[in-house]
Amino acid sequence: MSKQNHQSESPLIRLQKYIADCGITSRRKAEQLITQGLVSVNGHIITILGTKINPATDAILVEGRAITTVSSDKVYVLMHKPRCVMTTVNDPEGRDTVMNYCKQITERIYPVGRLDYLAEGFLLLTNDGEVANWMMHPPANLVKTYQVKVFGAVTEALLERLRHGVKLSDGLIRPQSVRVIEQLQGKTWIEVVFEEGRNRDIRNFFEGVGMTVDKLRHMAVGGLSIEGLAPGNFIIMTKKELLKAIGVDDTGRPLKTMRARLSSKKTINLHKKGAQPATPADYFGFRKFRKDTYFQTVKTMKEQKILDEQEAKAGPRPVREPRS
């Protein structure tokens, strides 16, 4: 092989990196596809991670579909994911997915990370595999802000338990800040900020002190917030805008000390609030509304409501006279 021909060839690249660069999915997910035998190169199924390919000459198929980096512009979409929507490209059960809210975007993008079905809020969709990878597995801690509505009345004692941290199976979770932002009749909105590299199950954090989560909203990462963005809506950003708003460079490392983007709602001082609802937030009876039993509880309540309405419509039953 001549020196000239050698220079004209495309450099070899790891298969999982190439798949991520094509905007198919994140590098971590690409590795899973490879080990599951869902990727082929020149007709041969590849299951060994680290396999290198030549994008100029090799034919790569992912789940039976050919992929290419040609005409694949990088797109960065910040969406306010609605509640009861799947954070997936498609759902085998036919449920609504986040992709249904951005059909006008012609590039193939995918959601970064997961917000569970009952959660709403901050969701990034992109075809930039590198950005997706460090958003899910950041080399440095990312500051994340959540708003959580719990059943019952929150007391200062419960807030202090949250501030001191909750020990779960993967270690102690200690938030950067916790504050009450709205006190409703029978429910309370709390804003909590975490500064950690690991993704956390926020429901488990609150359940660790006996609370039951009614609604969960991921508000912000670093200085980038969805405040003012209605559920189902999105904005398209450049990579530069995205990274600057979050407060990191193009490798995911902080440009400076990252500060949380708190909501514009004022902190409620529970001592000045006056009379609180009678039921405390750690009341055992609220547990039937937790994630594992939520749908069954709601179903049972709806069925009971229908029965009550039918009985009310039918009126009182006639009283039978006793037989003589």
Q: What is the CATH number of the domain that holds 140?
A: 3.30.2350.10
**Per-residue tens of pLDDT for the chain, all 324 residues:** 334 444 444 578 889 888 887 777 777 888 999 999 999 998 899 999 989 998 878 888 888 887 766 545 789 999 999 999 999 888 889 899 999 999 988 888 889 988 889 999 999 999 888 888 888 877 777 889 999 999 999 999 999 999 999 988 878 889 999 999 998 889 999 999 998 756 668 999 999 999 999 999 999 998 899 999 999 999 999 999 999 898 888 777 877 766 677 788 888 888 765 555 569 999 999 999 887 888 888 888 888 888 888 888 887 766 666 665
* Residue 285, C-beta contacts closer than 8 angstroms, at least 6 positions apart: 279
210 touches 155 (CB < 8 A): no
* Residue 281, C-beta contacts closer than 8 angstroms, at least 6 positions apart: 150, 151, 152, 153, 154, 155, 158, 188, 210, 211, 212
Mean pLDDT of the chain: 85
pLDDT of residue 200: 65
Phi and psi of 129, rounded to 5°? -60, -35
Q: Examine the domain organization and report whether 62 and 89 are in the same domain.
A: no
H or E segment and range at residue 206: helix 202-207
Instruction: DSSP for 30-61, please give it.
Output: HHHHHHTT-EEETTEE---TT-EE-TTT--EE
Domain boundary among 246, 261, 277: 246
Domain boundary among 66, 89, 119: 66
H or E segment and range at residue 191: strand 187-196
pLDDT of residue 180: 95
Any domain includes 319: no
Q: Examine the domain organization and report whether 215 and 120 are in the same domain.
A: yes
Q: Examine the domain organization and report whether 42 and 94 are in the same domain.
A: no
**d(Cα 128, Cα 289) in Å, to the nearest integer?**
38
pLDDT of residue 199: 60
pLDDT of residue 201: 81
**Pick from 203, 225, 230: nearest CA to 214:** 203
Lookup result for tokens 């986040």: 98
pLDDT of residue 299: 85
pLDDT of residue 3: 40
Q: Is 173 exposed, middle or buried (0-12, 13-18, 19+ CB in 10 A)?
A: buried
* Residue 198, C-beta contacts closer than 8 angstroms, at least 6 positions apart: 170
Q: Examine the domain organization and report whether 155 and 82 are in the same domain.
A: yes
Name the residues annotated as catalytic. Answer: 116
Q: Mind listing the pLDDT tens digit for each residue in 234-248?
A: 999 999 999 989 888
**d(Cα 46, Cα 59) in Å, to the nearest integer?**
12
87 touches 125 (CB < 8 A): no
**Pick from 14, 41, 19: nearest CA to 29:** 19
pLDDT of residue 277: 54
Q: Which two tokens stand for residue 240?
A: 């530069």
Q: Examine the domain organization and report whether 44 and 80 are in the same domain.
A: no
Q: What is the CATH number of the domain that holds 37?
A: 3.10.290.10
Q: Which domain holds residue 165?
A: 76-246
Q: How many domains does the chain have?
A: 2
Q: C-alpha angle with apex 104: 33 to 136, nearest 5 degrees?
A: 40
Phi and psi of 72, rounded to 5°? -105, 85
pLDDT of residue 276: 57
**d(Cα 218, Cα 120) in Å, to the nearest integer?**
6
Q: Examine the domain organization and report whether 209 and 91 are in the same domain.
A: yes
Q: Examine the domain organization and report whether 132 and 33 are in the same domain.
A: no
